[in-house]
Structure 1
Amino acid sequence: MLKGTKQFIAGTLVGATLFGGTAAIAANSTSLDVVLRPIKYFFDGVQKSTPAGQDGFIYKGTTYVPLRFVSESLGEEVKWDGKTGSIYVGEQPGGEVIYLTDLAPLSTVAYMLRSSGEVTTNMNESFGNSYLIDYGILDSSATYLLNGNFKKFQAGLAPDIELRGKEQTKRGVMKVYGDGDLLYTSPSIQSDATDIENIDVDVTGVLQLTIVFEPEYRTPYIDFIQPRLIN
Protein backbone atom coordinates (compact mmCIF):
# COMPACT_ATOMS: atom_id res chain seq x y z
CA MET A 1 0.00 0.00 0.00
CA LEU A 2 1.34 3.45 -0.89
CA LYS A 3 2.65 5.75 1.80
CA GLY A 4 -0.05 8.17 2.91
CA THR A 5 -2.87 5.83 1.99
CA LYS A 6 -5.20 3.87 4.21
CA GLN A 7 -7.75 1.15 3.56
CA PHE A 8 -11.39 1.87 4.41
CA ILE A 9 -14.45 -0.33 4.24
CA ALA A 10 -17.16 1.12 1.99
CA GLY A 11 -20.78 0.07 2.27
CA THR A 12 -23.19 1.15 4.98
CA LEU A 13 -20.64 3.07 7.02
CA VAL A 14 -21.84 5.49 9.65
CA GLY A 15 -19.15 6.21 12.15
CA ALA A 16 -15.85 7.87 12.75
CA THR A 17 -15.24 9.03 9.19
CA LEU A 18 -18.60 10.75 8.75
CA PHE A 19 -20.20 11.21 12.13
CA GLY A 20 -18.15 10.01 15.06
CA GLY A 21 -19.21 7.11 17.23
CA THR A 22 -19.58 3.44 16.38
CA ALA A 23 -19.46 2.31 12.76
CA ALA A 24 -22.00 -0.10 11.29
CA ILE A 25 -20.74 -1.96 8.23
CA ALA A 26 -22.90 -3.72 5.65
CA ALA A 27 -22.40 -7.36 4.76
CA ASN A 28 -21.64 -6.41 1.14
CA SER A 29 -18.87 -3.97 2.08
CA THR A 30 -15.99 -3.17 -0.28
CA SER A 31 -12.43 -2.27 0.68
CA LEU A 32 -11.15 1.07 -0.65
CA ASP A 33 -7.68 2.60 -0.66
CA VAL A 34 -7.93 6.27 0.26
CA VAL A 35 -5.30 8.97 0.64
CA LEU A 36 -4.95 10.57 4.06
CA ARG A 37 -3.51 14.07 4.30
CA PRO A 38 -3.77 16.90 6.84
CA ILE A 39 -6.78 19.09 6.07
CA LYS A 40 -7.28 22.49 7.66
CA TYR A 41 -10.86 23.64 8.27
CA PHE A 42 -11.76 27.34 8.40
CA PHE A 43 -15.24 28.62 9.27
CA ASP A 44 -15.77 32.34 8.66
CA GLY A 45 -12.01 32.76 8.93
CA VAL A 46 -11.68 30.81 12.18
CA GLN A 47 -9.71 27.56 12.09
CA LYS A 48 -11.19 24.55 13.86
CA SER A 49 -9.77 21.07 14.37
CA THR A 50 -11.60 17.80 13.94
CA PRO A 51 -12.05 15.46 16.91
CA ALA A 52 -9.59 12.57 17.10
CA GLY A 53 -10.28 9.90 14.51
CA GLN A 54 -12.45 12.10 12.30
CA ASP A 55 -9.95 13.10 9.63
CA GLY A 56 -10.93 13.72 6.05
CA PHE A 57 -9.56 11.68 3.16
CA ILE A 58 -9.25 11.70 -0.64
CA TYR A 59 -10.72 9.02 -2.88
CA LYS A 60 -10.46 9.17 -6.68
CA GLY A 61 -9.69 12.87 -6.62
CA THR A 62 -12.62 13.82 -4.37
CA THR A 63 -12.06 15.06 -0.82
CA TYR A 64 -14.43 13.59 1.79
CA VAL A 65 -14.87 15.42 5.09
CA PRO A 66 -16.58 14.48 8.39
CA LEU A 67 -20.19 15.60 7.95
CA ARG A 68 -21.03 15.96 11.64
CA PHE A 69 -17.96 18.07 12.36
CA VAL A 70 -18.55 20.39 9.39
CA SER A 71 -22.29 20.73 10.01
CA GLU A 72 -22.02 21.38 13.73
CA SER A 73 -19.21 23.88 13.09
CA LEU A 74 -21.73 25.75 10.95
CA GLY A 75 -24.31 25.59 13.73
CA GLU A 76 -26.43 22.84 12.18
CA GLU A 77 -27.69 19.74 13.97
CA VAL A 78 -27.06 16.36 12.35
CA LYS A 79 -29.28 13.31 12.77
CA TRP A 80 -28.85 9.79 11.36
CA ASP A 81 -31.96 7.67 10.80
CA GLY A 82 -30.69 4.11 10.44
CA LYS A 83 -34.15 2.72 9.65
CA THR A 84 -34.52 4.73 6.46
CA GLY A 85 -30.83 5.33 5.74
CA SER A 86 -31.39 9.09 5.93
CA ILE A 87 -29.12 11.89 7.12
CA TYR A 88 -30.75 15.11 8.28
CA VAL A 89 -28.71 18.31 8.50
CA GLY A 90 -30.42 21.31 10.08
CA GLU A 91 -34.20 21.41 9.96
CA GLN A 92 -35.82 17.98 9.97
CA PRO A 93 -39.23 17.18 8.52
CA GLY A 94 -41.92 17.33 11.16
CA GLY A 95 -44.00 14.28 11.82
CA GLU A 96 -43.51 10.71 10.65
CA VAL A 97 -42.07 10.13 7.18
CA ILE A 98 -43.52 7.26 5.13
CA TYR A 99 -41.84 6.40 1.83
CA LEU A 100 -44.08 5.27 -1.01
CA THR A 101 -41.78 2.28 -1.47
CA ASP A 102 -43.16 1.08 1.89
CA LEU A 103 -46.80 1.93 1.15
CA ALA A 104 -49.07 -0.19 -1.00
CA PRO A 105 -50.95 1.89 -3.61
CA LEU A 106 -54.72 1.75 -3.87
CA SER A 107 -54.35 1.31 -7.64
CA THR A 108 -51.77 1.64 -10.42
CA VAL A 109 -51.87 2.17 -14.17
CA ALA A 110 -49.02 0.95 -16.41
CA TYR A 111 -45.52 0.64 -14.98
CA MET A 112 -44.55 3.74 -13.00
CA LEU A 113 -43.76 1.69 -9.86
CA ARG A 114 -42.10 -1.19 -11.67
CA SER A 115 -38.48 -0.58 -10.62
CA SER A 116 -37.90 0.37 -6.98
CA GLY A 117 -34.87 0.55 -4.72
CA GLU A 118 -31.73 2.62 -5.15
CA VAL A 119 -31.31 4.97 -8.10
CA THR A 120 -28.33 6.98 -9.32
CA THR A 121 -28.87 10.24 -11.18
CA ASN A 122 -26.84 11.57 -14.11
CA MET A 123 -25.19 13.79 -11.47
CA ASN A 124 -23.88 10.58 -9.88
CA GLU A 125 -25.95 11.02 -6.71
CA SER A 126 -27.50 7.84 -5.29
CA PHE A 127 -30.76 7.58 -3.34
CA GLY A 128 -32.61 4.70 -1.72
CA ASN A 129 -36.39 4.36 -1.36
CA SER A 130 -36.83 5.51 -4.96
CA TYR A 131 -38.22 4.45 -8.33
CA LEU A 132 -36.72 4.35 -11.82
CA ILE A 133 -39.33 5.29 -14.43
CA ASP A 134 -38.09 3.49 -17.53
CA TYR A 135 -41.33 2.76 -19.43
CA GLY A 136 -42.77 5.51 -21.59
CA ILE A 137 -45.27 4.10 -24.07
CA LEU A 138 -48.30 5.07 -21.96
CA ASP A 139 -49.08 7.51 -19.17
CA SER A 140 -48.60 5.77 -15.84
CA SER A 141 -50.04 6.54 -12.44
CA ALA A 142 -50.41 5.41 -8.85
CA THR A 143 -53.15 6.32 -6.38
CA TYR A 144 -52.76 6.24 -2.61
CA LEU A 145 -55.39 6.37 0.11
CA LEU A 146 -54.44 9.15 2.55
CA ASN A 147 -57.74 9.68 4.40
CA GLY A 148 -56.64 13.17 5.36
CA ASN A 149 -53.83 11.84 7.57
CA PHE A 150 -50.90 13.61 5.92
CA LYS A 151 -49.70 17.19 5.51
CA LYS A 152 -46.97 16.98 2.88
CA PHE A 153 -45.97 15.01 -0.19
CA GLN A 154 -42.33 15.42 -1.16
CA ALA A 155 -40.10 13.85 -3.81
CA GLY A 156 -37.47 14.63 -6.41
CA LEU A 157 -37.15 14.11 -10.17
CA ALA A 158 -33.91 13.77 -12.11
CA PRO A 159 -32.54 12.03 -15.21
CA ASP A 160 -31.00 8.64 -14.43
CA ILE A 161 -27.31 7.94 -14.88
CA GLU A 162 -28.25 5.93 -18.00
CA LEU A 163 -28.79 9.30 -19.72
CA ARG A 164 -25.35 10.71 -18.95
CA GLY A 165 -23.75 11.89 -22.16
CA LYS A 166 -26.88 11.24 -24.22
CA GLU A 167 -28.40 13.77 -26.61
CA GLN A 168 -30.58 16.38 -24.93
CA THR A 169 -34.23 15.35 -25.02
CA LYS A 170 -37.39 15.91 -23.05
CA ARG A 171 -38.14 12.80 -21.01
CA GLY A 172 -41.45 13.47 -19.26
CA VAL A 173 -43.67 15.45 -16.91
CA MET A 174 -45.10 14.49 -13.51
CA LYS A 175 -48.41 15.70 -12.11
CA VAL A 176 -49.83 15.32 -8.61
CA TYR A 177 -53.58 15.29 -7.94
CA GLY A 178 -55.43 15.47 -4.65
CA ASP A 179 -59.03 14.20 -4.78
CA GLY A 180 -59.05 14.92 -8.52
CA ASP A 181 -57.67 18.46 -8.25
CA LEU A 182 -54.32 19.25 -9.86
CA LEU A 183 -51.86 20.25 -7.10
CA TYR A 184 -48.54 20.21 -8.93
CA THR A 185 -47.07 19.96 -12.44
CA SER A 186 -43.34 19.49 -12.95
CA PRO A 187 -41.41 21.10 -15.75
CA SER A 188 -40.38 18.77 -18.56
CA ILE A 189 -37.41 16.81 -17.20
CA GLN A 190 -34.49 17.07 -19.62
CA SER A 191 -31.97 14.27 -20.16
CA ASP A 192 -29.09 16.64 -19.38
CA ALA A 193 -30.60 18.34 -16.31
CA THR A 194 -28.00 19.25 -13.70
CA ASP A 195 -30.36 19.88 -10.78
CA ILE A 196 -32.98 17.77 -9.04
CA GLU A 197 -36.55 19.02 -9.46
CA ASN A 198 -37.91 19.10 -5.90
CA ILE A 199 -41.59 18.39 -5.30
CA ASP A 200 -43.18 19.80 -2.13
CA VAL A 201 -46.98 19.62 -2.12
CA ASP A 202 -49.43 20.46 0.67
CA VAL A 203 -51.81 17.49 0.97
CA THR A 204 -53.62 18.56 4.14
CA GLY A 205 -57.11 17.08 4.10
CA VAL A 206 -56.53 15.06 0.90
CA LEU A 207 -58.30 11.71 0.88
CA GLN A 208 -56.77 10.23 -2.29
CA LEU A 209 -53.43 11.20 -3.83
CA THR A 210 -52.75 10.36 -7.47
CA ILE A 211 -49.34 10.69 -9.09
CA VAL A 212 -49.23 10.70 -12.89
CA PHE A 213 -46.18 10.49 -15.15
CA GLU A 214 -46.68 11.65 -18.74
CA PRO A 215 -43.75 10.39 -20.85
CA GLU A 216 -42.23 12.38 -23.66
CA TYR A 217 -39.85 9.61 -24.66
CA ARG A 218 -40.27 5.84 -25.07
CA THR A 219 -37.67 5.05 -22.39
CA PRO A 220 -37.73 8.05 -20.02
CA TYR A 221 -35.13 6.87 -17.48
CA ILE A 222 -36.32 9.34 -14.88
CA ASP A 223 -35.45 8.85 -11.21
CA PHE A 224 -38.45 9.39 -8.92
CA ILE A 225 -36.42 10.16 -5.82
CA GLN A 226 -37.62 9.20 -2.34
CA PRO A 227 -41.33 10.00 -2.76
CA ARG A 228 -42.70 10.32 0.75
CA LEU A 229 -45.64 11.42 2.85
CA ILE A 230 -45.25 13.41 6.06
CA ASN A 231 -47.97 13.54 8.69
Structure 2
Amino acid sequence: MDPADAEPTPALPEDPLANVPELHTYLTADPAERTAALKLVADSIAQMRQTANNSLIFHPLNLALFVGVLAVIIRYMINAGHEPFIVGTTCTGLLCIELVLIRFLTQDYLLAAEEINWAWLGDADMIVTKFGDEVIGTVVVEWVSGEARGKRKKAWKGEIKAWTVRLRYRRKGVGRALLEEAVKESRKKGAEGIEFQEGHANSKRVLPVFYSGKFDKGDRKAREKLQDLLGSSPTKTRRKRGSSG
Protein backbone atom coordinates (compact mmCIF):
# COMPACT_ATOMS: atom_id res chain seq x y z
CA MET A 1 0.00 0.00 0.00
CA ASP A 2 1.25 3.46 -0.89
CA PRO A 3 2.23 5.32 2.29
CA ALA A 4 0.51 8.37 0.85
CA ASP A 5 -2.82 6.51 0.99
CA ALA A 6 -2.49 5.63 4.68
CA GLU A 7 -4.83 7.38 7.11
CA PRO A 8 -3.08 10.13 9.08
CA THR A 9 -2.35 9.35 12.70
CA PRO A 10 -4.80 11.33 14.87
CA ALA A 11 -3.12 14.04 16.91
CA LEU A 12 -2.99 13.51 20.63
CA PRO A 13 -5.43 15.75 22.50
CA GLU A 14 -3.77 18.77 24.01
CA ASP A 15 -3.50 18.78 27.79
CA PRO A 16 -6.12 21.34 28.94
CA LEU A 17 -3.96 22.17 31.96
CA ALA A 18 -0.72 22.56 30.01
CA ASN A 19 -0.70 26.37 30.14
CA VAL A 20 -2.47 26.81 33.45
CA PRO A 21 -0.17 28.28 36.13
CA GLU A 22 0.27 26.31 39.32
CA LEU A 23 -1.07 27.48 42.64
CA HIS A 24 1.54 28.40 45.24
CA THR A 25 0.69 29.00 48.90
CA TYR A 26 3.39 30.40 51.18
CA LEU A 27 4.30 32.96 53.82
CA THR A 28 5.32 36.19 52.13
CA ALA A 29 7.35 39.22 53.10
CA ASP A 30 7.24 40.75 49.63
CA PRO A 31 5.76 44.29 49.85
CA ALA A 32 3.92 44.00 46.53
CA GLU A 33 2.32 40.68 47.51
CA ARG A 34 1.38 41.98 50.95
CA THR A 35 -0.20 45.06 49.36
CA ALA A 36 -2.23 42.88 46.99
CA ALA A 37 -3.30 40.63 49.86
CA LEU A 38 -4.32 43.63 51.97
CA LYS A 39 -6.45 44.92 49.10
CA LEU A 40 -8.02 41.47 48.78
CA VAL A 41 -9.09 41.57 52.43
CA ALA A 42 -10.61 45.03 51.98
CA ASP A 43 -12.44 43.90 48.83
CA SER A 44 -13.87 40.87 50.64
CA ILE A 45 -15.37 43.11 53.32
CA ALA A 46 -16.87 45.42 50.70
CA GLN A 47 -18.37 42.36 48.99
CA MET A 48 -20.11 41.46 52.23
CA ARG A 49 -22.27 44.51 51.63
CA GLN A 50 -23.86 42.88 48.59
CA THR A 51 -24.63 39.76 50.60
CA ALA A 52 -26.22 41.91 53.30
CA ASN A 53 -28.23 43.79 50.65
CA ASN A 54 -29.55 40.51 49.28
CA SER A 55 -30.47 39.36 52.79
CA LEU A 56 -32.60 42.46 53.26
CA ILE A 57 -34.17 42.38 49.79
CA PHE A 58 -35.01 38.71 49.57
CA HIS A 59 -35.78 37.89 53.18
CA PRO A 60 -39.30 36.35 53.17
CA LEU A 61 -40.58 38.73 55.85
CA ASN A 62 -39.29 41.82 54.04
CA LEU A 63 -40.65 40.61 50.70
CA ALA A 64 -44.07 39.93 52.17
CA LEU A 65 -44.14 43.32 53.89
CA PHE A 66 -43.09 45.21 50.75
CA VAL A 67 -45.54 43.37 48.48
CA GLY A 68 -48.31 43.96 51.02
CA VAL A 69 -47.62 47.70 51.15
CA LEU A 70 -47.51 47.88 47.35
CA ALA A 71 -50.81 46.01 47.08
CA VAL A 72 -52.52 48.43 49.48
CA ILE A 73 -51.15 51.49 47.66
CA ILE A 74 -52.05 50.14 44.21
CA ARG A 75 -55.58 49.32 45.30
CA TYR A 76 -56.02 52.74 46.86
CA MET A 77 -54.73 54.55 43.76
CA ILE A 78 -56.88 52.51 41.39
CA ASN A 79 -59.98 53.13 43.50
CA ALA A 80 -59.10 56.83 43.52
CA GLY A 81 -59.10 56.80 39.71
CA HIS A 82 -55.40 57.35 39.06
CA GLU A 83 -53.99 56.51 35.64
CA PRO A 84 -52.13 53.16 35.32
CA PHE A 85 -49.00 55.09 34.34
CA ILE A 86 -49.12 57.06 37.59
CA VAL A 87 -49.66 53.85 39.57
CA GLY A 88 -46.67 52.21 37.88
CA THR A 89 -44.48 55.28 38.42
CA THR A 90 -45.40 55.37 42.09
CA CYS A 91 -44.54 51.69 42.55
CA THR A 92 -41.20 52.21 40.80
CA GLY A 93 -40.46 55.17 43.06
CA LEU A 94 -41.22 53.10 46.16
CA LEU A 95 -38.90 50.36 44.93
CA CYS A 96 -36.11 52.90 44.41
CA ILE A 97 -36.66 54.27 47.91
CA GLU A 98 -36.40 50.76 49.34
CA LEU A 99 -33.12 50.11 47.50
CA VAL A 100 -31.63 53.43 48.64
CA LEU A 101 -32.65 52.68 52.24
CA ILE A 102 -31.05 49.24 52.05
CA ARG A 103 -27.80 50.65 50.70
CA PHE A 104 -27.80 53.20 53.52
CA LEU A 105 -28.27 50.47 56.13
CA THR A 106 -25.29 48.47 54.82
CA GLN A 107 -22.86 51.31 54.10
CA ASP A 108 -20.80 50.47 57.20
CA TYR A 109 -19.23 47.62 55.24
CA LEU A 110 -17.55 50.17 52.99
CA LEU A 111 -16.32 52.08 56.03
CA ALA A 112 -14.95 48.84 57.50
CA ALA A 113 -13.18 48.05 54.23
CA GLU A 114 -11.45 51.44 54.32
CA GLU A 115 -10.01 50.56 57.75
CA ILE A 116 -7.99 47.69 56.28
CA ASN A 117 -4.59 49.33 55.96
CA TRP A 118 -1.01 48.92 57.12
CA ALA A 119 -1.88 50.15 60.60
CA TRP A 120 -4.55 47.43 60.86
CA LEU A 121 -2.06 44.81 59.65
CA GLY A 122 0.62 45.74 62.16
CA ASP A 123 3.33 43.05 62.36
CA ALA A 124 1.02 40.17 61.48
CA ASP A 125 2.16 37.48 59.05
CA MET A 126 0.52 37.16 55.64
CA ILE A 127 0.19 33.85 53.85
CA VAL A 128 -0.85 34.14 50.22
CA THR A 129 -1.93 31.87 47.40
CA LYS A 130 -0.81 32.93 43.95
CA PHE A 131 -2.25 31.77 40.63
CA GLY A 132 0.49 32.71 38.23
CA ASP A 133 1.35 36.30 39.14
CA GLU A 134 -2.03 37.02 40.77
CA VAL A 135 -2.65 36.88 44.53
CA ILE A 136 -5.99 35.08 44.78
CA GLY A 137 -6.17 34.34 48.50
CA THR A 138 -4.69 35.26 51.84
CA VAL A 139 -4.80 34.46 55.52
CA VAL A 140 -3.51 37.03 58.01
CA VAL A 141 -2.13 35.63 61.27
CA GLU A 142 -1.11 37.59 64.34
CA TRP A 143 1.05 35.89 66.95
CA VAL A 144 0.18 36.78 70.52
CA SER A 145 1.16 35.68 74.00
CA GLY A 146 -1.07 33.05 75.51
CA GLU A 147 -1.40 31.71 79.02
CA ALA A 148 1.69 31.70 81.21
CA ARG A 149 3.76 28.54 81.44
CA GLY A 150 4.86 28.46 85.02
CA LYS A 151 6.97 31.51 85.82
CA ARG A 152 9.47 31.32 82.98
CA LYS A 153 7.77 32.11 79.68
CA LYS A 154 4.46 32.44 77.94
CA ALA A 155 2.98 30.21 75.30
CA TRP A 156 2.38 31.67 71.87
CA LYS A 157 -0.73 31.23 69.82
CA GLY A 158 -1.86 32.36 66.41
CA GLU A 159 -4.94 34.47 65.83
CA ILE A 160 -6.37 34.71 62.32
CA LYS A 161 -7.27 38.34 61.60
CA ALA A 162 -8.57 37.70 58.08
CA TRP A 163 -9.07 34.80 55.67
CA THR A 164 -10.37 35.28 52.17
CA VAL A 165 -10.19 34.08 48.57
CA ARG A 166 -10.94 36.07 45.44
CA LEU A 167 -14.59 35.58 44.53
CA ARG A 168 -14.16 33.57 41.31
CA TYR A 169 -11.70 31.14 42.92
CA ARG A 170 -13.83 30.18 45.91
CA ARG A 171 -15.04 26.63 46.58
CA LYS A 172 -11.99 25.19 44.82
CA GLY A 173 -9.90 24.25 47.87
CA VAL A 174 -7.85 27.47 47.94
CA GLY A 175 -9.19 28.54 51.33
CA ARG A 176 -8.46 25.16 52.89
CA ALA A 177 -4.89 25.24 51.55
CA LEU A 178 -4.40 28.65 53.18
CA LEU A 179 -5.59 27.36 56.54
CA GLU A 180 -3.35 24.30 56.19
CA GLU A 181 -0.36 26.58 55.63
CA ALA A 182 -1.37 28.68 58.65
CA VAL A 183 -1.46 25.54 60.80
CA LYS A 184 1.99 24.54 59.49
CA GLU A 185 3.36 27.97 60.39
CA SER A 186 1.94 27.68 63.89
CA ARG A 187 3.75 24.35 64.27
CA LYS A 188 7.01 25.85 63.03
CA LYS A 189 6.77 28.69 65.54
CA GLY A 190 5.99 26.29 68.36
CA ALA A 191 2.62 27.95 68.94
CA GLU A 192 0.21 26.27 71.32
CA GLY A 193 -2.57 26.65 68.79
CA ILE A 194 -4.23 28.83 66.20
CA GLU A 195 -7.78 30.15 66.09
CA PHE A 196 -9.92 32.81 64.48
CA GLN A 197 -9.66 36.14 66.27
CA GLU A 198 -12.81 37.45 67.87
CA GLY A 199 -13.82 40.33 65.65
CA HIS A 200 -11.70 39.19 62.69
CA ALA A 201 -12.06 41.21 59.48
CA ASN A 202 -14.83 39.09 57.96
CA SER A 203 -16.91 38.90 61.14
CA LYS A 204 -18.29 42.40 60.60
CA ARG A 205 -22.05 42.57 61.17
CA VAL A 206 -24.09 45.70 60.51
CA LEU A 207 -27.57 44.14 60.44
CA PRO A 208 -29.58 42.57 63.24
CA VAL A 209 -28.91 38.88 63.99
CA PHE A 210 -32.18 38.11 62.24
CA TYR A 211 -30.53 38.90 58.88
CA SER A 212 -27.03 37.56 59.57
CA GLY A 213 -27.71 33.84 59.18
CA LYS A 214 -25.59 33.43 56.04
CA PHE A 215 -22.63 35.25 57.60
CA ASP A 216 -22.88 33.28 60.84
CA LYS A 217 -23.07 29.99 58.93
CA GLY A 218 -19.95 30.83 56.94
CA ASP A 219 -18.04 31.88 60.05
CA ARG A 220 -19.07 28.68 61.84
CA LYS A 221 -17.92 26.53 58.91
CA ALA A 222 -14.57 28.34 58.79
CA ARG A 223 -13.94 27.68 62.48
CA GLU A 224 -14.97 24.04 62.10
CA LYS A 225 -12.63 23.64 59.13
CA LEU A 226 -9.74 25.06 61.11
CA GLN A 227 -10.44 22.74 64.04
CA ASP A 228 -10.61 19.80 61.65
CA LEU A 229 -7.19 20.72 60.23
CA LEU A 230 -5.74 21.12 63.71
CA GLY A 231 -7.05 17.70 64.62
CA SER A 232 -5.61 16.02 61.54
CA SER A 233 -2.32 17.94 61.47
CA PRO A 234 0.68 16.02 62.81
CA THR A 235 1.75 17.26 66.19
CA LYS A 236 5.07 18.94 66.50
CA THR A 237 7.98 16.68 67.20
CA ARG A 238 8.86 16.51 70.81
CA ARG A 239 12.36 17.49 71.75
CA LYS A 240 14.54 14.74 73.07
CA ARG A 241 15.72 15.20 76.58
CA GLY A 242 19.33 16.16 76.72
CA SER A 243 21.74 14.57 79.14
CA SER A 244 22.23 16.36 82.41
CA GLY A 245 25.51 17.74 83.11
**Which structure is higher in helix share?**
2
* TMscore range, shorter length: under 0.3
| TM-score, normalisation: structure 1 | 0.23
Decide which structure has greater strand share.
1
The two structures have a TM-score, normalised by structure 2, of: 0.22
Structure with bigger RCO (C-alpha 8 Å, 6+ apart): 2
